[in-house]
Amino acid sequence: MRKVVHEAAGIADMIIFPGGFYTTKGRPSTLFESFAEQTRELITSVKHEIIVCFGIDGRATKDQVKDQIAVAIGSNGVIASARKYHPTDEEDGFIDVAPDPFIGEGKYSRMFEIAGRRAFLAVCYDSFGIRQRSLSNPDIGIIINLVHKFNPKGEGSSSEGYFAKHGFAGSSREWGCPTFGAAVFFNRTIPPRWPTGVLWNQGVKEIKYWKYSDNPLEPSQEFEIENVTEKAIVKVYHL
């Protein structure tokens, strides 16, 4: 996070990191303020106003987590936070979900303002829920989708193309605004064409027929940041 924020400072108004960027053994609330303060200090150190979004997973078992939280932080601290509201079939009945798609977490709202647009925090499968629940758009101009990870091909949770189509493009179509997201590609290379920003402009076309080439959003620049164990590909979009 530190390297990405320092590289993107002065270029971007907001940086999106994946869901579950941090994991806690207990409830996320036990370390929430610590994560927030460390991130706030990082933002102030770069001397450029920027909003950093990331996910916190809590009460994890081997295969699932009970808490999936998204948070947006600026130079003054927490701006918004939200809990996952739309679980997958495997998660349903196990995780603690938000009681309402538009409610925030604790004292914070799910929505916040950035660059004259209202942003909506979605945790992973929440982007599917926008279309599957036919949710009305509460004046949202940007959907921020914190995706967890895509496993190696042939394993479960490995279809990044399906997620881009039904999560990113599907939510963009439903609300008529761009969807931006980030994810971890676990033990596999990052597909160069996988879109981190999608805007639906295909009219009444069925979502199942949408292709990457239908997406009008293209990053204005792209760069890589690498350390011993990980590599991040950062794509910058201008709206």
pLDDT tens track, the chain, 239 positions: 999 999 999 999 999 999 999 999 999 999 999 999 999 999 999 989 999 999 999 998 777 899 999 999 999 999 999 999 999 999 998 999 999 999 999 999 999 999 999 999 999 999 999 999 999 999 999 999 999 999 988 887 889 999 999 999 999 999 999 999 999 999 999 998 999 999 999 999 999 999 999 999 999 999 999 988 899 999 999 98
In this prediction, residue 213 carries a pLDDT of 97
Question: Tens of pLDDT along 22-60?
Answer: 999 999 999 999 999 999 999 999 989 999 999 999 998
Instruction: Enter the tokens of residue 39.
Output: 């991130």
Q: Which domains does the chain have, with CATH numbers?
A: 2-236 (3.60.110)
What pLDDT was estimated at residue 158? Answer: 83
Q: Name the pTM for this structure.
A: 0.96
Report the pLDDT value the prediction gives residue 165, as an integer from 0 to 100.
Answer: 97
Using DSSP, state whether 111 is helix, strand or coil: strand
3-class secondary-structure state, position 71 = strand
User: Which of the 8 DSSP states describes residue 136?
Assistant: P
**Looking at the chain, how many residues does it have?**
239
- Check residue 76 and give its pLDDT: 95
CA count, 13 A, side-chain hemisphere, 179 = 34
Residue 113 is predicted with a pLDDT of: 97
Residue 154: its pLDDT value, please?
Answer: 82
CA distance 203 to 190: 30
Cβ-contact 103, 125 below 8 angstroms? no
Kindly list the distances between the CA atom of residue 72 and the CA atoms of 3, 29, 101, in Å, as whole numbers in the listed order: 18, 15, 17
Instruction: Tell me what pLDDT residue 108 has.
Output: 97
